[in-house]
Structures are given as C-alpha cells and as structure tokens.
C-alpha cells in the first residue's frame, strides 16, 4: 500500500480513537441514570442539560467515530477476506450496520445542536411527551448500534484469535467491561458509568489495531505482486 494511503487510514483510525476517548470523558461528567427508567425523563425538570461541553458534543463525537471507523472496517475486510471469508464478511456487515445506525441516530441530535429549536405555544405535557418519544427512539437505535458493533467485533475475535491474539483479547475485554456495567445501573450508577467508560477506552484502541493489521498485510501483498513498485519504496519486485 502506497504511503499516502497508509497515512490516510492511520489518520482515520486515530481520529476514531480520539473521538471515542473524548466521548468517554464526556460520559464521566454526566449524572448517571438509575435503571432503565432513568434514561426517559418523567418530568421536564428530570431532564437536566449536559454537564460539560464534551457531553453536549457527544452526538458530534459519535458522527466522527462512525464516519472515520467505517473506512477502516472496509479496509480490514478487504485485507482479511482471504483468511476467513465467511466470518470476516459476517463481522464486517454487523459492524458497518452498527455504524450506519449510529450515524442515523446522531445526525438529528447534531442538527438540534446547530439549530437550537425552541417550542413556543406548546403545552408542557406535549413537550414532555416529545422528549420521552425522542429518548425512546434514541435508546432503541443506540442499543441496537453498539450491540451490533460488539457482536461484529466478537466475530472478528473468534475467527482471528489464533492469528491476532492481542486484538482478540482487547475485543473480549471491551465486551466484558460493557456487559458488566448493565447490572450496576440499578445498584450503583457511578460504577456502571466507570465500567462503560473503561469499555469505551478499550474499544477506542481497536480501530488502530485493525488499521495496522490491514495496512501491513495489504502492503506485503502488493509488494509481492510482480512488476509493482514496493510500498516502502525501492526497485520493483
């Protein structure tokens, strides 16, 4: 793979990492909800504004994550297709679908940040109903999005465990940390937030590993092609 291409995909991978780290830092500043009902406001006063700028910008960070991670997943799929075609295609389809869901979910929230719509002449109960409806829609898409991402990456971990154990172990660690946060939503919300953020931080390193593996293997494959200029420079093979 030519140097400019490597730079672009590495930049995308590190952009994904940065957006996830910033998203996790923003999540720490938020007051954690208690139980699943805590995600849906029961009154207008029960829906406080974001506690920090990072929390406020979380939809933008999700968009950056999804748009930058998508090409990395496609590149990884191309690079590893010959190794385990069925598993790689299944895992990549799940991850790509999750990223598209996250884009669809985050776009209206990002537009809301830009437009700042304010209800005028609307009864408070109607405003509350609209907020609850938006919260349910957001949760449905968000849960579907990250669940598909974790399942898709778990498929990668299974089919590539012998060949890329560090990647597989990182995926397993991130998945277990996220699964561990769910019971704490009812008993200790702050612990749930910490576990979720730890899972996000572990997840953030995965795109960098995926890009590194894909770039290395595609570069080796292209260097071995007769008559092609090596990716690292020098005389043709």
Q: What is the pLDDT of residues 99-121, one digit of tens each?
A: 999 999 999 999 988 887 776 77
DSSP string, 146-164: HHHHHHHHHHHHHHTTTT-
Condensed to tens digits (0 to 9), the pLDDT of residues 47-67 reads 666 667 888 899 999 999 999
What is the mean pLDDT of the segment spanning 220-236?
59
Structure tokens of 39? 């995600």
Comparing CA positions, the residue from 33, 237, 4, 62 lying closest to residue 135 is: 33
Please tell me the distance from the alpha carbon of residue 199 to that of residue 181, in angstroms, as a whole number. Answer: 9
Domain boundaries, the chain: 3-223
Whole-prediction pTM: 0.85
Residue from 40, 37, 47 nearest 136 by CA: 40
Are the CB atoms for 128 and 41 separated by under 8 Å?
Answer: yes
Q: Dump pLDDT digits (tens) for 170-179.
A: 999 999 999 9
Q: Is 146 left (phi over 0), alpha (psi -120 to 50) or beta?
A: alpha
- Split at pLDDT 50, 70, 90, the class of 235 is very low
Q: Please, which pLDDT band fits residue 233 given cuts at 50, 70 and 90?
A: very low
Two tokens at 88? 């790689």
Please say whether the beta carbons of 78 and 214 come within 8 A.
Answer: yes
Task: Measure the CA–CA gap between 54 and 103, rounded to whole angstroms.
Answer: 18
Per-residue pLDDT at 1 exceeds 60: no
Q: What dihedral do alpha carbons 127, 131, 132, 136 form, nearest 10°?
A: 150
Residue 45 has pLDDT above 80, yes or no: no
How does DSSP classify residue 135?
H
The arithmetic mean of pLDDT across residues 142-159, rounded, is 94
């Amino acid at each position: 793979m030519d140097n400019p291409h490597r730079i672009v995909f590495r930049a995308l991978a590190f952009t994904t990492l940065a957006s996830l780290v910033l998203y996790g830092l923003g999540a720490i500043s938020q007051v954690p909800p208690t139980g699943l009902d805590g995600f849906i406001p029961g009154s207008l006063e029960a829906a406080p504004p974001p506690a920090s700028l990072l929390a406020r910008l979380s939809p933008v960070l999700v968009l950056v994550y999804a748009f930058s991670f998508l090409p990395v997943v496609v590149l990884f799929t191309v690079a590893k297709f010959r190794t385990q075609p069925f598993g790689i295609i299944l895992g990549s389809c799940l991850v790509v679908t999750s990223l598209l869901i996250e884009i669809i979910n985050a776009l209206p929230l990002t537009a809301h940040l830009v437009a700042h719509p304010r209800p005028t002449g609307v009864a408070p109960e109607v405003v509350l109903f609209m907020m609850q409806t938006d919260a349910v829609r957001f949760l449905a898409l968000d849960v579907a999005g990250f669940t598909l991402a974790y399942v898709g990456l778990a498929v990668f971990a299974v089919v590539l465990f012998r060949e890329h154990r560090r990647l597989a172990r990182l995926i397993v660690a991130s998945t277990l940390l996220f699964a561990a946060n769910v019971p704490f939503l009812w008993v200790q919300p702050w612990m749930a937030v910490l576990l979720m953020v730890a899972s996000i931080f572990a997840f953030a390193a995965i795109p960098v590993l995926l890009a590194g593996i894909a770039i290395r293997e595609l570069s080796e494959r292209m260097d071995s092609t007769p008559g092609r200029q090596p990716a690292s420079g020098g005389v043709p093979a």
